[in-house]
Structure 1
Amino acid sequence: MPRLSDTLWDIAVAEVSKNSEEKENEEDLETRERSVFFLGSKSGGKTTIILRFLDRDEVSKPTLALEYTFGRRARGHNTPKDISHFWELGGGTSLSDLAQIPITVDNIRTLSVVLVLDLSKPNDLWQTMEKLLTVTKNHINKTMNELGKKDSININEIKQRSWKNLQKNHPDWELVDPFPLPLVIIGSKYDILQFYSNKSETTVSKLRTVLNNLAFGTDRSKTISVEYNKPLFVPAGMDSLSQIGSPPATEVDLGKINARNPIDLWKKVYERLFPCESTGEFKDIMDPAKVPQYAEPEVDVMRTQKDQELEQYKRNASKSWKEMEFDMHGR
């Protein structure tokens, strides 16, 4: 109730404050949903990270294609639990086309991406990172363009949000092309390289803070660690190319490398030290129909029958082509 002494300005400020408070109260009573998309190196530890974050005491199994799970978190007493949807892409880079499934017009505003790279396999690391980020970014841009035809305001907000972690006076401002959605890159299995134990509560705690921010919108971590003898922890926008320095090569060698920018220079030096050894990941992918945990007797019998029919068809087709070829030569 406005007082007689209140000016028009006082009344307007009070009204805006009241509306904001009512809106916050309404939001507190609504269930908020977010999505987190995990992808990265094959057998890099993505499933283990998700299960550890969700406090699920389960033995992780290889992810054959694309798997889904979810988690809930209460904001407070007598409030709805927020929901986070977790998608995990298996197979390393071989199934990258499936990245389009978790990226939709409905969740693009609340989607985050987590790229897990296996540090124990440096020869495949850069190629895995580059291919998966490129494919994912293409799907994101395609989805954003689709949404932009209906809702250009939200698209502009998403694009502006991708720059918010980088100040305009940042030394790399002109060189940066930020990923369109929140992106976290995790280097897994660092302990295999330097330490005896593969269990570190410090890194688990830090990662939990990061995932809580992506999955449930909690405060973003401001911790930073750039000591290379320890696990690195660098939030977006808190490093720079000048701080990282030049790649490990002599000035003479660097002068011979034709690079477009500092990141391209790092890539070429890295690939000289760790040339890619991957010859294709499709060979290593297990056929889901032959995995014991997915056995279905009736389905498997029918599948065997169909496989036999297919092989017979192939043999018959092969004979037909040979006979046709022989007939053509005979004429």
Structure 2
Amino acid sequence: MSYSRSNAAAAAKEAKVIDLFQQITLDQQTSQTPSSNDNKDTPNLCKNTTNTDCYCLFVGEKSSGKSSLISLFMGKEDDPKPTIALDYQFARRPRAQSTNNSKDVSHVWELGGGLDVVDLIGVTLERGLGESCVCVVVDCGRGENVVGSLRKWLELVQMRIGMEFEKVEKTDPGKAKMMVEEAERRFGLEHPDSSSVNISPVPIVIVANKYDKLKDEDSAGRRCMMQALRFVAHSIGASLVFSSTRDKQSRDLFRSVARQSLFNQGSTAAPAIAEGEPQQQLQQKWKKAGNFGDSAPLAIKPGCDTFEAILAALPKGTVKSDFVGHNGVSPRATETWGKALEVFYGRSTLDDKKEEAKLELDDEGENDGGGKANSYPEPAVDEARAAANLRLTQYKKEVQRRQEIAAAAIDVEKPRERKSRKSSDKERSSSGERRRRK
């Protein structure tokens, strides 16, 4: 993935600021004594109890509910504010079975959904890839954009994970090998689909948020969306959970899956496999594990689903090879799921949003806040920016006017040059004729 110099410089500057902020935060933590309420209600976000610090990144489209989910998990009841670029929170609790009062600190980052802040994904992952996890949030209320949004964010996240993982392979091959082995165990070494999936070395959780809106949809459309999300999650060895802050059942489900699958407060492994278990019994176990209904919110751990169960009922006009074949998952599988969802939810509007964002940036220039310029209006700043935009517009018009004048002058000069050239040729011809006569 290539980055422009300006983006790289901005990301580096942001990283320095975050480093300083994080150090100040940790200094504050060491000087504070946790209350009994903190110990009881604040969940431990760490996925590895042997490490003091661990990191979790929430990504997704704007207004998909990332802030609400974080508040739900952190036990906060206040209404979350919109995230502009990169938001940070932390949770801490005494380390399990600790004899020296040591604490685990979890750093939770939330990335704003704009395309102009995606470079900040690496700011969190590069701090400790082996102690990181990523939560990708999609909005079930926008069924037409679910698959496209999920594909976009997974591509961005996996690309950055790949870049950071290559660094780990060069600097610490042992750690890289351990991460791969842990990911394979998390999915299941004997899983029938293990050779067809591309498991991420960093745990990924897909949260289908606002499930309360999905419950009112047509059953066929809801079933198709669940199939699509199950397929994408299973193909990368990710966890999948449907959630809603307005539904108690799905709220509890999100908390449970977040603790067990995302933050390792329980078993994250696939169904247990007894040594020497017959292959037939093993296949039946996976088949049973992947048998999910379409009426209740889903919560599926890595490796607890199968392509056989997901593709038991194919979307109209498709065949199994459109999704998975002998060589693994089809490169066009997510695109096929997107077209299948268009039947129920219409055409995706993500491309339209990209064009609007591009036009907005072209008209207004770079946005230092990572969001809309008028999210937090400042009269003096707005006036200065408006004046600068006016001067820029006038300058562009002046440049265009000069270019038009220059082009017109060239068009006028060309006939004169041709006429002058003809006169010169005629004079030379006459002079030559006179010399020959003499």
TM-score interval (norm. to shorter): 0.7 to 0.9
Paired residues for 1:135-154 under 5 Å: 135-154=156-175
2 CA distance for matches of 1:41 and 1:56?
22
Q: 1:136 to 1:56 in 2, by over 3 A?
A: same
Paired residues for 1:57-206 under 5 Å: 57-75=77-95, 79-91=101-113, 95-104=117-126, 106-194=127-215, 199-206=246-253
1:234 equivalent to 2:300? Answer: yes
* Bigger helix fraction: 2
**Does the 8 Å CA contact 2:186/2:268 hold for their aligned counterparts?**
no
1:280 equivalent to 2:352? Answer: yes
2 CA distance for matches of 1:145 and 1:67?
27
- The structural deviation recorded for 1:236 is 0.6
What amino acid is the match of 1:302? A
CA RMSD of aligned residues (A): 3.3
Q: 1:301 to 1:142 in 2, by over 3 A?
A: same
- The structural deviation recorded for 1:92 is 6.1
2 CA distance for matches of 1:183 and 1:287?
26
2 CA distance for matches of 1:280 and 1:171?
40
1 CA distance for matches of 2:182 and 2:407?
63
2 CA distance for matches of 1:33 and 1:66?
19
Q: Determine the structure 2 residue equivalent to 1:327.
A: 409
**Does the 8 Å CA contact 1:35/1:215 hold for their aligned counterparts?**
no
Structure of greater relative contact order (alpha carbons < 8 Å, 6+ residues apart):
1
1 CA distance for matches of 2:260 and 2:172?
26
Q: What secondary structure is seen at the aligned counterpart in 1 of 2:300? A: coil
Q: 1:74 to 1:234 in 2, by over 3 A?
A: same
2 CA distance for matches of 1:75 and 1:91?
33
**Does the 8 Å CA contact 2:92/2:105 hold for their aligned counterparts?**
yes
2 CA distance for matches of 1:206 and 1:324?
69
Q: 1:174 to 1:254 in 2, by over 3 A?
A: same
Tell me the TM-score normalised to structure 1 length. 0.77
1:119-172 C-alpha deviation (Å, 9 max, x unpaired): 222221111111211121111111111232222211111222221122232111
- The structural deviation recorded for 1:187 is 0.9
**Does the 8 Å CA contact 1:41/1:125 hold for their aligned counterparts?**
no
What amino acid is the match of 2:209? S
**Does the 8 Å CA contact 1:83/1:216 hold for their aligned counterparts?**
no
Query: Which deviates the most, 83-92 or 183-192?
Result: 83-92
Paired residues for 1:295-310 under 5 Å: 295-310=377-392
Q: 1:330 to 1:61 in 2, by over 3 A?
A: farther
**Does the 8 Å CA contact 1:37/1:86 hold for their aligned counterparts?**
yes
1:312 equivalent to 2:394? Answer: yes
1 CA distance for matches of 2:329 and 2:310?
11
Query: What are the ranges of 5 or more consecutive residues in structure 1 without an aligned counterpart?
Result: 1-28
**Does the 8 Å CA contact 1:35/1:85 hold for their aligned counterparts?**
yes
Identical-residue share of aligned pairs (%): 24
**Does the 8 Å CA contact 1:34/1:216 hold for their aligned counterparts?**
no
2 CA distance for matches of 1:181 and 1:256?
29
